[in-house]
Amino acid sequence: MDNRVLRFDHVRILINKMLMRGSKVTREGKYVMSNVPRQLVYGTMVYEPQTIVSDTSCALSRQITIATRYSAVRGQFGSQNGSLETRVIDYQTQQSWLFPLLASAYAFRFVGKRLKWLYTDVTQRLQAGDFSTLPEAHTCTADLKSLTTSITALPSGKKPVGTTAYMGRMEHLMRCTSDIQGAEGWLKSHVVLQAFEARAARMSVACAQKLAKFVNPEEGFAEISPNLVEASVAHCQLIVVSKFIEKLQQDIPGKGVKEQLEILCSVYALHLLHKHQGSLQCHCAS
């Protein structure tokens, strides 16, 4: 989906069939730069990733529906007294694998809608000659595309049983500590959100400090690329969690639907916090 270069050798192409949006070639064969701002070319690079994120949500929803239904009817192992086999979905190991993916399907759906709005906003700004939000939009959509597609590749439903807004508060987030006394405290959305903000902020600052030690920036990027990837993932996870929480602050039709989505939001966020607890050296709470 990204931009690529195509070269031809001894191939004749009609001039009116050439792709010449960002530059032109005259009939005499002279290359001429177009007066169209080069930033406009990147509009497509925002559109494609945001479309992929939305498609990923749909694909993951189908897969997790099949896996959940299969787990609900498939029995595996039973008690010693000869009773019916235990349903696969009743095993906690299966739930710990299945439910975070179910929550991810909803999380990606909500962030996908947000990216569609972001693309529309960026497009309108580009047409008005405002390129200020393009770099962030491009980075955000590209990283979220990578994050969501990496989750969508599911193994078999019968898994063996038993086996940017925060930047303005950077100084505050860097000094965050947690005063949560019990597990119930982590069910508060603002506590969870601040934990993700603090984690992303600290990792970004750590990367910036390491890059500052290199005379050659390109050499620095190559040297600490694993750290940059981890910081990028942390930032993307923050975006997904924040958009999930924002959705829950809206009116959601359907009896009991909002309550179930709140549970899934907690499942998604706390699953990530537990998975990446090594990078959560301190947390933030009000």
What are the pLDDT tens digits along the chain (286 aa)?
455 677 878 888 788 877 776 677 888 878 887 666 666 666 667 777 888 888 888 989 999 999 999 988 888 776 666 677 788 888 888 888 889 999 999 999 998 888 888 888 888 887 787 877 777 787 788 888 888 887 765 554 444 343 344 444 545 555 555 556 667 777 788 888 888 888 888 888 888 888 888 888 888 888 888 888 888 888 889 999 999 999 998 888 889 899 999 999 999 999 998 888 777 654 444 4
Domain assignment of residue 14, yes or no = no
Q: How high is the pLDDT of residue 241?
A: 92
Q: In the listed set 152, 178, 213, which residue is the last one of a domain according to the structure?
A: 152
Q: How high is the pLDDT of residue 259?
A: 92
Regarding whether 65 and 137 lie in a shared domain, the answer is yes
Regarding whether 270 and 184 lie in a shared domain, the answer is yes
Regarding whether 240 and 134 lie in a shared domain, the answer is no
Domain assignment of residue 10, yes or no = no
SS3 content of the chain, % helix, strand, coil (to 5): 65, 5, 30
Regarding whether 265 and 224 lie in a shared domain, the answer is yes
Domain count, the chain: 2
Per DSSP, helices labelled H in 8-133 are: 43-73, 92-127
Regarding whether 267 and 172 lie in a shared domain, the answer is yes
What is the rounded (10 degree) CA torsion for 167, 168, 172, 174? 20
Domain assignment of residue 210, yes or no = yes
Regarding whether 83 and 148 lie in a shared domain, the answer is yes
Residue span of the structural domain in which 207 resides: 165-279
- Here the CATH number for the domain that contains residue 107 is 1.20.140.10
Domain assignment of residue 22, yes or no = no
Regarding whether 263 and 230 lie in a shared domain, the answer is yes
* Tokens, residue 157: 């439903």
Domain assignment of residue 212, yes or no = yes
Domain assignment of residue 183, yes or no = yes
Question: Where are any strands of DSSP class E within the chain?
Answer: 23-25, 31-33
Has this prediction a pTM greater than 0.85? no
What is the rounded CA–CA span in Å between residue 15 and residue 13?
6
Domain assignment of residue 159, yes or no = no
Regarding whether 228 and 134 lie in a shared domain, the answer is no
Domain assignment of residue 286, yes or no = no
Q: How high is the pLDDT of residue 175?
A: 56
What is the rounded CA–CA span in Å between residue 194 and residue 286?
9
- Count of CB atoms situated within 10 Å of the CB of 128: 8
Q: How high is the pLDDT of residue 18?
A: 77
